[in-house]
Amino acid sequence: MFGGEGGLDLKVLATYPFLPEASRYIREEGPPLEEVLEHRAFGNSRHLAKEKVFSSLESGELPELPMSSPPECLAALYAYPLARILVSCVGDPFLIRRFSLAEASLARRRFSREDPAFLMQLSQALRLDSSIDGSYRLHFSDFLEATKRLRGKEWKLINHPVQSGYVILSREKFLRVLEGHLRNRFEEELPLEVNEFLLEAFWEDVAKLREMLQERKSNLQSTDLGRITVANFPPCTQGLLATVLASENVPHQGRFALVSFLNNLGLGFEEIYRIFASVPDFRESVTRYQIEHITGRISGTEYTSPECSTMKSYGLCPGPDSLCQRITHPLGYYRLKTRTMSRRSETGSMAKAPTPPEE
Amino acid sequence: MEAEERVRTTLKYLKAKFKQYYETTPLHLPPRFGRREYGFIFFDGGYIQRHLAFSSEADLYSFLRSRLPSHIYHSAAYYENPGAPTMGEKGWMGADLIFDLDADHIPGSIGMGYKGMLEAVKDQVIRLIDEFLEQDMGFKSSEMTISFSGARGYHVHVRHQKILILKSHERREIVDYITGTGLDIDFIARSEPFELKTYKERSRTLKRLRIPTPSEPGWRGRASRGILRWVDQMSGLPEEEALVEIRKLEGVGQARSAKIYDTLFKRLGREQALERVRSGVLDFLPRAGGLSIAAQGVNLMKGVTDEPVTSDIKRLIRVIGSLHGKTGLMVVPLTRDQLEDFDPLTDAIPPIYSHETIRVHIQKGIETDMMGETFNLKRGKNRVPEYLAIFLMCRGMATLVSGTHDEESEETV
């Protein structure tokens, strides 16, 4: 579709280096990897690759690359696989997420400059079942897959026209969907397998990136520590806990949500068991089994507590308060509120606490 | 003592029948047979035995004939190692998209009776297939397998190539789509500027409420059809009753309901009201009233399906062609056309169950339909056709009477 002859095609490949045609070009027409990693001619590619990775971590925004001549296009084209190798050498999940997001959003900026027909060619090259007919049409399963991280009601399938398997989208939304698709794909593909040779070629940058990541983590953990404060629970789990303590019946999904939530906050089997044991009519063996199961004592799998959309589907969300608007997961609420509260107490202000969760 | 003995002979009888069934009747096994996990429940009670895999159909049949399970399931998913004991080791590869409609989930199904519930759930499964799965989602009939569940509902297995790899979250979106969950009313009804009025140098924009037209794709057209249906329903009621119904709308009280009724049926009249709705305007009503009617239109069109079954990508589902241990009925494969005239209480009775009568002890008086006949059974010993006896014994409502005593107290039905 974007065959390899002529400068224009090379520019397309350099602009969209994640297309299957781009990797085929590199595989079949490019020099061997050792040469790209070591030869002076590819110094510019290596430089651009590092710049991509560092800026994805620092600002989340990737620079536009010059592509006015064939050598510049080649440099830009090779920067993409090299950056992926560097990310894989570090192998950190946070870096993978940041890099994938940044690459996908760069792609969206570039897509937005293309005309509809060419955009359609690109989306079909990405194996998306799409067509154009006044508006953009995309198979609903591709839409669901691409938008699985987007949680506003404007992204729910039900709030779109759907006809004979296809979702009808505006151009703006279609571009966002392409971005979502790429982001998921990049995250799934990384990390690539790396060997000693690659690690050695990038050792200096790998060390630097690891240091930056470590610094970020220690900052985060110092706010995460400290004991659990029930006042910082979101309305849903706070309500569930209150119900359990009042020895009223909590549906199965509700118990699962509460136990996994407490477990994710760092409470162990014994501590959670004690909360439930205070309930007068508590059924010893059943409760023990459930908690052991959820905290991973039996199955070896520790469960993550359900996200907001799941809580809503199960009817466990009592209705969001103002803080809920900013999160998609009950654990996010806890973290956010804990951070806000500790910042308040640090500044010593007597400002009012955030709106208390509604009953 | 005697009761225990009866339970034992009942179980023995049922096992023999199930054995005879599985010796003579082939199952409808799913594609990718060897990649599925299988699960069984047995007559003697106890937990489900799962994480089993079979490399050939013959192995499965010999398992059935020797172990005589009362319930047989296969996984919606297919795995690298379907027989592995934990989900992690199984290696999930994909899963059919499953819909389960049960009479329990049909609004208002309580009090309908078994037969009525089965009819109501059948209407809903037909809507699910026609309106949602075919019309909106574009699945072809060759990509869907429909079955009667053997008890109080229907299953639909969708095996379209593109949906097999969808995970829980995406499947839940599909459920939300069908059940009308999370629909944004702004997507259906929108105020739009309509006219600019100027009065003494001050201008004001008049707005009107735009709604979709009936033929629009997806939920917009569906909501429009719902609104039409509601207006039509109201027009058929005497004024007093209509006012009571209109007040049931969210945010509509005494005054507003009167205004809505007057506008629709006195000022405009039924035909003109329907025509306005069909053309996509609700501007003749106060905005809040219009929105309530739009929301009601949506409510009337909500589909039904059981959420956890569809979103669980590791779920077990009944094998088609097997027997349901709690009814003795078959899990019957159906085409969309067969669904119309399907009567579970006749068509799901295995041909090997005879019309000869046998004697059972009935725990509690019961009235039930089967094979087109109505049976009115009193507590105590009764002579009933074998197919009915098996149904009642499986449901735990009757036990087998063996021997020849108590001849004179029997009633033959």
Asked if residue B97 lies in contact with residue B178, where contact means CB atoms within 8 angstroms, the answer is no
Q: Which of B165, B173, B217 sits opposite A156 (nearest CB)?
A: B173
Q: Residue B332 in contact with residue B348, Cβ under 8 Å? A: yes
Q: Which two tokens stand for residue A223?
A: 């706010």
How many domains does chain B divide into? 3
User: Measured between CB atoms, does A319 come within 8 Å of chain B?
Assistant: no
Q: Which residues of A touch B137 (CB under 8 A)?
A: 140, 162, 165
The reply to whether B175 and B133 lie within a common domain is yes
**Rounded Cα distance, B10 and B121, in Å:** 31
CATH no. for residue B79?
3.90.920.10
Looking at the fold, whether B131 and B41 belong to one and the same domain comes out as yes
Q: Note whether B360 and B395 are same-domain residues.
A: yes
Which of B371, B388, B377 lies closest to B413, judged by CA?
Answer: B377
Beta-carbon contacts of A103 under 8 Å, excluding residues fewer than 6 positions away, are: A18, A52, A56, A62, A80, A182, A183, A186
Provide the sign of the torsion angle of the four alpha carbons B258, B259, B261, B266, taken in this order.
positive
The predicted-structure confidence for B63-80, as pLDDT tens digits, reads as follows: 999 999 999 999 999 999
In this complex, which of A145, A148, A162 lies closest to B218 when CB atoms are compared?
A162
The neighbour count for residue B164, using CB atoms within 10 Å, is 19
- A162–B86 C-beta distance less than 8 A: no
User: Which of A154, A159, A184 should be substituted to probe chain B, the one whose Cβ sees the most B Cβ atoms within 10 Å?
Assistant: A159
Residue B318 corresponds to which amino acid? Answer: R
pTM of the model: 0.79
Q: Does B87 touch chain A (CB under 8 A)?
A: yes
Q: How are beta strands B69-75 and B49-52 bridged, if at all?
A: unpaired
ipTM of this complex prediction, to 2 decimal places: 0.90
Facing B176 at nearest CB: one of A139, A145, A158 = A158
Residue B198 pLDDT: 77
Q: What is the pLDDT of residues B312-345, one digit of tens each?
A: 999 999 999 999 999 999 999 999 999 999 999 9
Residue A157 contacts B, CB cutoff 8 Å: yes
Residue B167 DSSP SS3: coil
Q: From B158, B186, B153, B161, select the one nearest B174 (Cα to Cα).
A: B158
Residue B280 tokens read as: 């996509």
Residue A245 is encoded by which pair of tokens?
């303590």
Could you give the CA distance from residue B220 to residue A358 in angstroms, rounded to a whole number?
A: 34
In terms of CA atoms, which chain B residue is nearest residue A164? B138
The answer to whether residues B294 and B229 touch, using CB atoms and an 8 Å cutoff, is no
Distance from CA of A127 to the nearest CA of B (A): 11
Whether B324 and B175 share a structural domain: yes
Taking only the tens of pLDDT, chain A with its 359 residues reads 554 444 448 999 999 999 999 999 998 888 887 788 888 888 899 999 999 999 998 888 898 888 989 889 999 999 999 999 999 999 988 899 889 999 999 999 999 999 999 999 999 999 999 999 889 999 999 999 999 878 678 899 999 999 999 999 999 999 999 999 999 999 999 999 999 988 988 999 999 999 998 887 665 444 333 467 777 888 888 878 877 766 666 777 888 898 899 888 888 787 788 777 766 556 666 778 888 888 877 766 778 899 998 888 777 887 788 888 889 899 999 988 888 877 776 554 433 333 433 33
Look at B194 and A336; give whichever has higher pLDDT: A336
For B340-366, the pLDDT digits (tens) are 999 999 999 999 999 999 999 999 999
Residue B262 scores a pLDDT above 50 = yes
**Domain range holding B53?**
29-180+305-346
Identify all chain B residues contacting A309, using CB atoms and an 8 Å cutoff: 169, 172
Residue B409 has pLDDT above 60, yes or no: no
* DSSP-assigned beta bridge partners for residue B383: B359, B412
Looking at residue B162, its pLDDT comes to 93
Position A30 scores a pLDDT of 82
Chain A contacts of B165, Cβ < 8 Å?
145
Residue B413 has pLDDT above 50, yes or no: no
Distance between CA atoms of B56 and B79, rounded to whole angstroms? 16
Residue pair B333/B146 in contact (Cβ under 8 Å)? The answer is yes
Question: Strand pairing of B202-210 and B190-199?
Answer: antiparallel
CA distance B160 to A21: 28
Q: Are residues B328 and B395 in the same domain?
A: no
The answer to whether residue A300 neighbours chain B at the CB level (below 8 Å) is yes
Q: What is the mean pLDDT of chain B?
A: 91
> Other CB atoms closer than 10 Å to residue A292's CB: what's the count?
15
- Residues in A touching B138 (Cβ below 8 Å): 140, 163-166
Are residues B120 and B232 both part of a single domain? no
Q: What is the mean pLDDT of residues B262-273?
A: 88
CA distance A179 to A147: 9
B44 and B141, same domain (yes or no): yes
Instruction: Indicate left, alpha or beta for B348 from its phi (over 0: left) and psi (-120 to 50: alpha).
Output: alpha
Q: What is the dihedral of CA A166, A170, A176, A182, to 10 degrees?
A: 40
Residue labelled with tokens 């005697």: B2
Pair type for strands B366-370 and B411-412: unpaired
pLDDT at residue B151 above 70? yes
Residues B171 and B63 in one domain: yes
- Angstrom distances, CA of residue A295 to CA of A249, A275, A285, A329, B212: 21, 14, 15, 19, 49
Give the separation between CA B81 and CA B369, rounded to whole angstroms. Answer: 45
Interacting residues of B178 by C-beta distance below 8 A, sequence separation 6+: B99, B128, B132, B303, B304, B305
pLDDT value at B371 more than 50: yes
Residue B381 pairs in a beta bridge with B361
Asked if A161 and B182 come within 8 Å (Cβ–Cβ), the reply is: no
Measured between alpha carbons, how far is B347 from B353 in angstroms, rounded to an integer? Answer: 12
Helix (H, G, I), strand (E, B) or coil at B247: helix
- Listed by start position, the domains of chain A span 6-90+192-212, 113-191, 230-345
Q: Which amino acid is it at A20? A: P
**Looking at CA atoms only, how far is residue B266 from chain A in angstroms?**
34
Q: Are residues B165 and B233 both part of a single domain? A: no
B54 plus B203 within the same structural domain:
no
Confidence of residue B2 (pLDDT cuts 50, 70, 90): confident
Chain B CB contacts of A129 under 8 Å are: 162
**Contact, A106 vs A62, CB < 8 A?**
yes
Q: Which residue type does A293 have?
A: H
B219 or A36: whose pLDDT is higher? B219
Q: Which residues of B touch A168 (CB under 8 A)?
A: 217
For residue A229, give every residue at least 6 positions away whose Cβ sits within 8 Å of its Cβ, in sequence order, or none.
Answer: A338, A341
CA-closest candidate to residue A18, choices A84, A75, A73 = A84
Task: List the strands of the sheet with B380-385, edge to edge.
Answer: B398-400, B357-362, B380-385, B411-412
C-alpha B272: how far from its chain's center?
A: 37
Q: Do the Cβ atoms of A161 and B166 come within 8 Å?
A: no
Do the Cβ atoms of A142 and A130 come closer than 8 Å?
yes
Q: Which residues face B92 on adjacent strands?
A: B79
Give per-residue pLDDT as tens, B109-130: 777 788 888 899 999 999 999 9
* Helix (H) or strand (E) segment spanning residue B369: strand B366-370
B184 with A153: Cβ contact below 8 A: yes
Which residue in B has a C-alpha nearest to residue A162's C-alpha?
B218
